[in-house]
Amino acid sequence: MCEQALNIFVSVFGAEAGNLALKLKSTGGVFLAGGIAPKILPKLATPLFLEAFLAKGRLRHLMEIIPIQVITNDKLGLLGAARCASLEAAA
């Protein structure tokens, strides 16, 4: 049952990542960040995620050229906050 739940999550995650990529026309790439993506990286590497991401009908050819990467740095949020703080301090 847990495996089924994870499969459903990965499919929905891929479909929604594809939807957002289309909405924003993210031809430069889609970067998956946060706590969940790095923890399920082996599952994201299966066809479940990619097929859901690409399943956009006539726009599949556009989806196929969008690179997808998972950010594995667990300090990403802290680094972003530090950058914002340093920019605010410089202003």
Question: Tens digits of per-residue pLDDT, 2-42?
Answer: 999 999 999 999 999 999 999 999 999 999 998 899 999 99
Which sign does the torsion angle of CA 32, 33, 38, 40 carry? negative
CATH code of the domain occupying 2-90:
3.40.367.20
The predicted model gives 78-83 an average pLDDT of 92
Predicted TM-score of the model (pTM)? 0.84
The predicted model gives 54-69 an average pLDDT of 96
Does residue 91 surpass a pLDDT of 80? no
CA end-to-end span of the chain:
53
Residue spans of the domains in the chain: they are: 2-90
User: How many helices and strands (H and E) does the chain possess?
Assistant: 6, 2
Closest CA to 63 of 31, 33, 29: 29
